[in-house]
Amino acid sequence: MPELPEVETVRRQLAERLNNATIIDVVVWRSGREFPSQANFVNALKGRRIKSVDRRAKLLIWRLDNRKAITAHLKMTGRFLFVDQNYKQEKHDRIRFILKEKNKKIFLVWADIRQFGFLKLIDESELNQIVSEYGPEPLDVSAKVLAERLNRSSTRSIKATLLDQAIIAGIGNIYADESLHRAGIRPHRCVAHLSLVERLRLAQEIQNVLQESINQQGASANDYVDTQGQKGGFLNLLRVYGRAGEPCRTCDTSIQRTVLAQRGTHHCPTCQK
DNA sequence: AGTGCGACCTGATCGC
DNA sequence: TGCGATCAGGTCGCAC
């Protein structure tokens, strides 16, 4: 759900306030799998300065001043929310960070309804390893490079291929369906059988849809909200995702929903060949 | 080796 | 009204 555009939106909002901030305190309201050793997690963070907030694929990376980093994955329902001093803990809240930047205090809450997300403290070498296993950032390379990444002899469908973070980073269920509709390619097609023209068109549409969604602060299909609790504006611009039975915006044909790669998959039988 | 699939988790929604 | 079944999905780990 939070995919590249949504995670990038959160990154920008976090970076704006957390860059150069110092972590004063960390209160774990409810611990979980994401920080197995709670005391170590809290103690290791106190007093550390955040050098930058970066993103790789759907992973948020807070680089600290001691060659360590906090990685955060929102998965489906993870949220960072800026709150004020008087904020009261709500049901799914898990951690509160108190930070300081230029004598101004910052209160940040990590919440996660489904508890799939995680925060992890790791060192530089482990971070380098994780980052190196992702495919290229789709907005940092040319469409030609992306098209080349999709040129593979595999039995998999193009949709399953797009969801593989090792091939191209950051695409999830929504943007896989949306980019395939824009490119006029059926999700079920075998990746090995796509023509050069199709792969190039798909690569360009991946870049277009991701950039357009970032410009709208992402799409809130279900649970996603940004650090102010705001929904993304791209939802109404989606062409197929979540529109089963509704008319295709291009040709009026009813959008079909099937299951592919274990994911709800949406396409227009007329526009997509 | 590459691929597919279950597990993880909770809340919203649907049908009876 | 209430209750159970189903669905949402990113990624890991295991099986084939």
> Which tokens in the block code for residue A123?
């060192």
- Is A239 a residue whose pLDDT tops 70? yes
Q: What is the pLDDT of residue A30?
A: 81
Q: What is the pLDDT of residue A19?
A: 97
Give the nearest nucleotide to A177, CA to C1'. Answer: C9
Interatomic CA–C1' length for residue A178 and nucleotide B11, angstroms: 26
Hey, is A68 helix, strand or coil? strand
Cβ of A105 near strand B (under 7 Å)? The reply is: no
The answer to whether A262 touches A254, Cβ cutoff 8 Å, is: no
- Is A35 a residue whose pLDDT tops 90? no
| Residue of A48, A58, A149, A199 marked catalytic | A58
Catalytic: A102?
Answer: no
Catalytic: A263?
Answer: yes
Hey, is A53 helix, strand or coil? strand
Helix intervals (H) in chain A: 4-18, 38-45, 124-132, 143-149, 158-163, 173-183, 196-215
Closest CA to A239 of A163, A182, A188: A182
- Is A186 a residue whose pLDDT tops 60? yes
Interatomic CA–C1' length for residue A7 and nucleotide B11, angstroms: 22
pLDDT tens per residue, range A111-152: 999 888 999 999 999 999 999 999 999 999 999 999 999 999
Beta bridge pairs of residue A71: A61, A120
The answer to whether A47 touches A22, Cβ cutoff 8 Å, is: yes
Q: Which residues lie below 8 Å from residue A91, measured CB to CB, with a gap of 6+?
A: none
Interatomic CA–C1' length for residue A114 and nucleotide C16, angstroms: 30
Catalytic: A75?
Answer: no
Residue with tokens 């508890």, as numbered in its chain: A115
Stated pTM of the model:
0.95
Give the nearest nucleotide to A134, CA to C1'. Answer: C11
- Is A189 a residue whose pLDDT tops 70? yes
Percent of chain A with pLDDT over 70: 98
Hey, is A201 helix, strand or coil? helix
Q: What is the pLDDT of residue A41?
A: 85
Beta bridge pairs of residue A234: none
Cβ of A259 near strand B (under 7 Å)? The reply is: no
Phi, psi of A62, rounded to the nearest 5 degrees = -95, 110
pLDDT tens per residue, range A209-236: 999 999 999 987 778 889 998 888 998 8
Percent of chain A with pLDDT over 90: 84
Interatomic CA–C1' length for residue A170 and nucleotide B5, angstroms: 22
Please, which positions of strand B sit below 7 A from a protein CB? 2-11
Q: Between β-strands A263-267 and A22-28, what pairing exists: parallel, antiparallel or unpaired?
A: unpaired
d(CA A129, CA A246): 44
Mean pLDDT across chain A:
93
Helix, strand and coil in chain A, % to nearest 5: 30, 25, 45
d(CA A251, CA A254): 9
